[in-house]
């Protein structure tokens, strides 16, 4: 049985000066491979263009959020000024009360009793000022403490979902999972779970780009595997303030946020603090 001839493409080169004509034969599979490589390169170029466009979008979002953080920082500085003014008012009020009562200190809790026990005609402008100072200096620990307790989802429920829960360290190997894994699209905004101060903002070999926020020495929250960090070490943040963008850095198998809550040095289950 005769062998089927192999299909080839002949290329002739005929010089103008009449010299010898050259002929080259190319296999069809070689042409197919060349065309396939060209198509693959075109696909890679298009894919690179898409990623470059997305990176420009993320950069713009990060710049906008950084601007918002600068405005929030300015507001916090004004709050600090008001707090310092209030402290000075308390000191002046204490000095006045000491002078008027012959060095007898009146507990602030007795202000309302003094105001109620005096006759109406004895309520002078100075007494009204003391009552006003009492109202301004009453402890606000309940609201302030609540602002420092992690109580909101760092990624909104509409933007992400929990893929792995908290697992305490058990057994000899102490193998556990000290937080939540929340899957979300890359570039999703991450919010601070409570008021506090940024104590770490950088890169870790395992957790990738990570932000750690201290909440008045009682709680600490950590946000890992981020694509971009918006805050810096030393910044004060408010509950709900953007601090990072969801990413896939470090030892991660896909875009998600690893979120931890620590209370006095021990990891806690975030689901015990977050709303359902």
151 and 268 co-located in one domain: yes
Assess if residue 39 is contained within a domain. no
Domain count, the chain: 2
Specify the residue for token string 């009453």. 138
How does the average pLDDT of the chain come out, rounded?
Answer: 79
261 and 206 co-located in one domain: yes
Assess if residue 234 is contained within a domain. yes
For residue 207, what is the domain's CATH number?
2.70.70.10
122 and 210 co-located in one domain: no
Measure the CA dihedral 242/71/84/194, to 10°. -10
Assess if residue 68 is contained within a domain. no
Question: What is the C-alpha separation between 56 and 239, in angstroms, rounded?
Answer: 28
Long-range pairs for 210-218 at CB < 8 Å and ≥24 separation?
Answer: 210/250, 211/243, 211/244, 213/237, 213/243, 215/148, 215/149, 215/150, 216/145, 216/148, 218/148, 218/263, 218/264
Helices (H) and strands (E) in the chain, counts: 4, 14
Task: Tell me how far CA of residue 241 lies from CA of 53, 65, 130, 186, 222, in angstroms.
Answer: 26, 9, 37, 18, 14
Range of the domain at 230: 147-272
Task: Tell me how far CA of residue 37 lies from CA of 10, 51, 66, 168, 205, in angstroms.
Answer: 22, 21, 43, 51, 36
Residue 183 near residue 219 (C-beta atoms within 8 A): no
Assess if residue 132 is contained within a domain. yes
Q: Which residue has the higher pLDDT, 85 or 121?
A: 85
In terms of DSSP bridges, do strands 219-229 and 242-246 run parallel, antiparallel, or are they unpaired? antiparallel
Question: Of 146, 163, 189, which residue is a domain's last?
Answer: 146
Give the model's confidence band at 81: pLDDT under 50 very low, under 70 low, under 90 confident, else very high.
Answer: confident
The DSSP code for 204 is E
Question: Of 115, 146, 177, which residue is a domain's last?
Answer: 146
Largest CA distance in the chain: 130
From the list 82, 199, 98, 195, the residue with the least C-alpha distance to 144 is 195
Lowest mean pLDDT among 50-54, 78-82, 181-185, 236-240: 78-82
Assess if residue 41 is contained within a domain. no
Assess if residue 251 is contained within a domain. yes
Give the model's confidence band at 173: pLDDT under 50 very low, under 70 low, under 90 confident, else very high.
Answer: low
127 and 233 co-located in one domain: no
Question: What is the C-alpha separation between 99 and 95, in angstroms, rounded?
Answer: 6
Q: Which residue has the higher pLDDT, 140 or 2?
A: 2
Question: What is the C-alpha separation between 30 and 8, in angstroms, rounded?
Answer: 10
Residue 262 near residue 268 (C-beta atoms within 8 A): yes
111 and 186 co-located in one domain: no
- Residue-wise pLDDT for 141-166, tens only, equals 444 468 889 999 999 999 999 999 99
234 and 199 co-located in one domain: yes
pTM of the full predicted structure? 0.51
- Residue-wise pLDDT for 17-37, tens only, equals 778 777 777 777 777 888 889
Assess if residue 126 is contained within a domain. yes
- Per cent of the chain over pLDDT 70 is 76
188 and 236 co-located in one domain: yes
253 and 173 co-located in one domain: yes
162 and 192 co-located in one domain: yes
131 and 87 co-located in one domain: yes
Question: Of 146, 167, 198, which residue is a domain's last?
Answer: 146
Assess if residue 47 is contained within a domain. no
194 and 92 co-located in one domain: no
183: CB partners within 8 A, 6+ apart: 160, 161, 162, 163, 254, 255, 256
Question: What is the C-alpha separation between 227 and 14, in angstroms, rounded?
Answer: 59
122 and 186 co-located in one domain: no
């Amino acid at each position: 049985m005769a062998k089927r001839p192999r299909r080839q493409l002949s290329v002739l080169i005929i010089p103008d000066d009449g010299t010898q004509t050259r002929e080259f034969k190319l296999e069809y599979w070689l042409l197919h491979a060349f065309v396939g490589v060209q198509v693959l390169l075109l696909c890679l170029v298009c894919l690179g263009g898409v990623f470059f466009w997305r990176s420009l979008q993320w950069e713009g979002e990060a710049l906008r959020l950084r601007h918002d953080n600068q405005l929030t920082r300015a507001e916090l500085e004004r709050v600090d000024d008001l707090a310092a003014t209030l402290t000075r008012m308390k000191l002046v009020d204490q000095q006045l009360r000491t002078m008027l009562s012959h060095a007898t200190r009146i507990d602030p809790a007795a202000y309302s009793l003094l105001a109620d026990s005096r006759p109406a005609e004895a309520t002078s402008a100075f007494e009204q000022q003391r009552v006003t100072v009492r109202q301004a200096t009453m402890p606000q620990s309940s609201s302030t403490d609540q602002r420092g307790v992690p109580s909101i989802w760092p990624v909104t429920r509409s933007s992400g979902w929990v893929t792995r829960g908290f697992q305490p360290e058990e057994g000899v190997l102490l193998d556990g999972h000290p937080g939540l894994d929340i899957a979300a699209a890359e570039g999703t905004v991450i919010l601070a779970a409570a008021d506090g101060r940024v104590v770490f903002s950088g890169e870790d070999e395992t957790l990738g780009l990570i932000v750690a926020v201290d909440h008045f020495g009682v709680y600490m929250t950590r946000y890992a595997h981020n694509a971009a960090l918006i805050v810096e070490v030393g910044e004060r943040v408010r509950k709900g303030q953007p601090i990072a963008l969801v990413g896939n850095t470090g030892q991660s198998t896909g875009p998600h946020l690893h979120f931890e809550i620590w209370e006095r040095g021990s990891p806690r289950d975030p689901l015990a603090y977050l709303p359902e």
